[in-house]
Amino acid sequence: MTIDAEVQALSRVPLFEGLESSKLRLLAFISDRMEFQDGEDLCHQGDDGDSAFVVLSGEVAVFVDGNEVARVGQYAIIGEIAILCDVPRTATLRSVGVTHILAISKEDFLKLIAEFPKVSLEIMRVLALRLEKTTRELAQARPAPS
């Protein structure tokens, strides 16, 4: 798989969807492509998060406190919060079968943002939209005042 396929995958990630393709290429180039064997862990719950993972192929199981809570497949991004702020991993990620992952390291991602302010604007926009959505959902979920 070459960098073009990775750019394809990155462009499907909501967080990066507004980025121009040249920046996506740079992001893909500075990220690490990893192969994980069946049962190998991508990260452990409670560890310091230092990178986000984009699933290029295969399937990843998400474990919280030892219980599998979800499975994610191709083009999913996992652990993206870790590259924006310092939080411990909230789940353990385990490869199901052989998976190919693009690991975006926090350090390099922040450098990229520092380098290109437009990228951070795009990301801010996506995050703001998410926050707005979450707030609305929260408001709806709250029982109406009687």
Closest CA to 104 of 37, 39, 9, 20: 9
Q: Which of 76, 96, 112, 126 binds other proteins (CB under 8 A)?
A: 112
Closest CA to 21 of 7, 31, 9, 32: 7
Q: Segment contacting other proteins (CB under 8 A): 26-34, 59-67, 78-86, 119-127?
A: 26-34
Q: Are 63 and 89 in contact (CB under 8 A)?
A: no
Residue 111 interacts with other proteins (CB under 8 A)?
yes
72 CB burial (10 A radius; 0-12, 13-18, 19+): middle
**How many residues touch other proteins (CB under 8 A)?**
26
Q: Segment contacting other proteins (CB under 8 A): 67-75, 78-86, 112-120, 127-135?
A: 112-120
Q: Which of 17, 20, 35, 137 binds other proteins (CB under 8 A)?
A: 35
Q: Which residues bind other proteins (CB under 8 A)?
A: 1-4, 6, 22, 25-26, 28-30, 32-40, 108, 111-112, 114-116
